[in-house]
Structure 1
Amino acid sequence: MSLVMVEAPPSRALAPYVTRLAAYREDYGEPVARSEMAMPGVVLVLGLGGPMEVNGVRMTSFTGGLGDRFAATRVTGASEGVEVFLTPFGARRLFGMPMRELANLMVPVTDVLGAWGLELLERVGEIDDWGVRLAVTDTLLACRIRRSPEVGPEIAWAWGELLGSGGAVSSRVLAEGLGWSHRHLVSRFHDQVGLAPKAVGRVIRFGRAVRLLQQGRPIADAALKCGYYDQAHMNREFRTLGDTTPGQIYPRPQVSGLAH
């Protein structure tokens, strides 16, 4: 039973659009089911081995959009490949399509990248050395993203405000800061991010709460810090976004002597 993963920092050209770039190999000897937490980004998996089940569908290489619910995966055999975490704007430029069309979906890579996606998989699959595999992936992704139109700075600013506030800033404040109507703000978010600002804020807040709990912050304190109404509200959000509870995240003390 094993999972081996090697990460490489994205190049300067790719760094604005990718937060994580890793090669992996996993073989557990038996089927393993996982619940993948919602996150403020897009996953691109370039699978080079056997398929896995993603929300009940068998796929080898897949991607999708931002989601405001967890994804269920099941690994049934040995697999390896490259895993890329894209920012919403990196995904928007890489895919060249409105991100609302991929919200809460996972689809085969070729559904969104077509022939270029097939070429990407072939190029990456020809390489055995993991470091070279990651470098080639980096170069190919950066080249395609650079050739696509840039997104406007307005939603990037609003996204930064959401991240900086831990998901707490309201849609009203964002719209006022841009001089837009709320309807226009939501429309632009659906195009460039995939979810409305309120839903994005929930995902960001959830991620912040998870990190606080992992650092040992008491559950009640994390709930207050992240702006949950009460612990029951926090529990509901953890179930929806992560298929978990705060108590399952919070580290328990040892009484004697969480892949991907």
Structure 2
Amino acid sequence: MDITLPRLSARLPGISMAGFGVRSSAFVDIAMVAHPSVTLIVDLSDAGGIVYDAEGGRRRGSVVAGLLPGQLRAGGWRGECLQIRLSPVIAAAVLGASTELTGTVAALDEIWTRDGSQFEDRLRSTTSWAERFTIAADVLSRRLDARPSVDPEVVHSWQRTVAHRGRVRVDGLADEVGWSRQRLWSRFRSQLGLTPKRAAQLVRFDHAAHLLAAGHPPASVAAQSGYVDQSHLHRDVKALTGITPAAVATAPWLAIDDLAWPARHL
């Protein structure tokens, strides 16, 4: 698999992009691991196409996977695709549907309607990854400028959750922004699509998953990631992915993560 990253000039805060190319004739079947971002995968292949499970059936083409996308399996694909990861704060503006997307998989043209098809056509009009990244950055920045932003208090709470790798308390976040716990809970959920507690769980899991993929033993990972013990880690991993920590450690999706996203922006 070939991986291409954008130059600094094509990067936007809260948005990460990577281009993928599969040159083998073999088909690919990779299960996504739950991740604290909304993932947009634009299919640029000439043949085969991305095939994924959604709404009880098999579908093809560009796809948007909401937070907690453990049920998505991308298979039968060969060719090229552009993958974009959006912080929930950014996704709320860019997609305008973060709440509805949580835990779901949807076709890109269902989320962006005609704009999705036009976006895909522009990307297909060139084979240069540099141009594709520039096109994507332009489209995303325009959508950001045209839509209302998330409350500063919600942004602060999300950023603190990420900075502390999920080891935060909702009461503490509410005190920091001067809101009641109930108000923070309500605004956070309505704007980002998940509760502050769920966000902390997902960010903490993401840190633990990468430690597991790096070869750290589960007991050590549990201690480093803020879990009570190894059993707590096991329960959280099973709840979020449906598989064990040992299986997460060898997940193909994580195997290329540090190559595609060397500096992850959640």
Name the TM tier (shorter chain).
0.7 to 0.9
* Displacement of 1:9: 4.1
Partner SS for 1:92: helix
Q: What is residue 236 of structure 2 aligned with on the other side?
A: 237
Question: Which one is further off, 78-87 or 48-57?
Answer: 48-57
CA deviation profile, 1:92-144 (whole Å, cap 9, x unmatched): 111123x2111101101111112211211111111112221221111121122
Q: How does 1:147-186 map to 2 (within 5 A)?
A: 147-186=146-185
- The 3-state SS of whatever aligns with 2:22 is strand
Unaligned residue ranges in structure 1 (runs of 5+):
252-257
Rounded to whole Å, the distance in 1 between the matches of 2:226 and 2:30 is 28
- 2:28 paired residue number: 32
CA–CA distance in structure 1, aligned partners of residues 22 and 235 of structure 2: 32
Q: 1:212 to 1:62 in 2, by over 3 A?
A: same
When normalised by structure 1's length, the TM-score is: 0.85
Larger Cα Rg: Structure 1 or Structure 2?
1
d(CA) in 2 for partners of 1:7 and 1:71? Answer: 26
Offset, 1:166: 1.3
Counterpart of 2:74 in structure 1 is 74
Give the superposition deviation at 1:215.
Answer: 4.2
Q: Which runs of 5+ in 2 are unaligned?
A: 258-266
**1:255: which partner in 2?**
none
Name the residue aligned to 1:86. 86
User: Matched residue of 1:71: which SS?
Assistant: coil
Among all aligned residue pairs of Structure 1 and Structure 2, give the percentage whose two residues are the same amino acid: 27
Report the Cα offset of residue 230 of structure 1: 2.0
Give, in angstroms, the shift of residue 176 of structure 1: 2.4
Q: Distance in 2 between matches of 1:11 and 1:192?
A: 29
Task: Report the alpha carbon displacement of residue 243 of structure 1 after superposing the two structures with TM.
Answer: 4.4
Distance 1:245 1:163, change over 3 A: same
Q: Is the 8 A contact 2:28 2:78 kept in 1?
A: no
After superposition, the C-alpha distances for 1:141-184 in whole angstroms (9 at most, x for unaligned) are: 11221222222211111011111221111112212222323222
Q: CA RMSD in A?
A: 2.3
Alignment match, 1:192: 191
Structure 1 CA distance, aligned partners of 2:96 and 2:77?
A: 33
Give distance in 2, aligned partners of 1:126 and 1:36: 28
Deviation of 1:36 after TM superposition, in Å, equals 1.0
> How many angstroms apart in 2 are the aligned matches of 1:186 and 1:244?
29
Residues 151/77 of structure 1: CA separation in 2 closer, same or farther (3 Å cut): closer
Query: 1:17 and 2:14 equivalent?
Result: yes
How far apart, in 1, do the equivalents of 2:24 and 2:72 lie? 17
Query: Does the C-alpha gap of structure 1 residues 126 and 250 become closer, same or farther in structure 2, counting only changes over 3 Å?
Result: closer
Task: Report the alpha carbon displacement of residue 28 of structure 1 after superposing the two structures with TM.
Answer: 4.7
* Residue pair 1:39, 1:203 contacting (<8 A) in 2 also: yes
Contact kept, 8 Å, 2:19 with 2:80, in 1: the verdict is yes
User: For 2:72, what is the secondary structure of its paired residue?
Assistant: strand
Secondary structure in 1 aligned to 2:149? coil
Whether the aligned pair in 2 keeps the contact of 1:175 and 1:185 (CA below 8 Å) is yes
CA distance in 2, matches of 1:77, 1:227: 37
With the length of structure 2 as denominator, give the TM-score of the two structures: 0.83
Of the structure 1 ranges 163-172 and 52-61, higher mean CA displacement relative to structure 2 is found in 52-61
Partner of 1:207 in structure 2?
206
Q: What SS is found at the alignment partner of 1:76?
A: strand
Q: Is residue 47 from structure 1 mapped to residue 43 from structure 2 by the alignment?
A: yes
Summarize the Cα distance change of 1:190–1:64 in structure 2 as closer, same or farther, 3 Å threshold. Answer: farther
